[in-house]
Amino acid sequence: MNVYITKANASKIIKFIDFRKITIEGDMYIRNNIVLNAMFSKYEKKELLAYKKLMEEPESIMSEIYEKFVDEKKDTYRWIYEKHSSPAYHSEPECPFLRSNFKNYRVPASIRFKGVQTAESIESIDDKKLTEKEIRIVIENVYKYRIWWGQEGFKLLNDDKDLFLMHVNNKFQPDPRVRDIKEFEWANSGIEEVENSSLKAIEDAIDKLIKESGRYYYQSKKHIIILKKYAKWTSSVYKEDKSFPDNHTGYTDNEIRSLLKEYNEHFKYPLKKLLKEYYRRKNNPDLAINETLISQLGFKPCGHCCKSKDLSEEEMMWIRLESGEFWDEEELEIMIKSDEYNDSQYWEDLHRYNNIN
More confident residue, 219 or 118: 219
169-191: pLDDT as tens digits:
999 999 889 998 887 655 544 44
210-232 core/surface letters (b: 16 or more CB in 10 A; e: else): beebeebbeeeeebebbbebbbb
Residue 256: how many CA atoms within 13 Å on its side-chain side?
28
The predicted model gives 45-69 an average pLDDT of 84
Grade residue 310 by pLDDT with cuts at 50, 70 and 90. low
More confident residue, 343 or 238: 238
256: number of Cβ within 10 Å: 22
Residue 290 has phi, psi (to 5 degrees) of -60, 130
| Predicted pLDDT of residue 248 | 93
pTM score, two decimals?
0.68
223-265: pLDDT as tens digits:
999 999 999 999 888 777 788 989 999 999 999 999 999 999 9
Grade residue 353 by pLDDT with cuts at 50, 70 and 90. very low
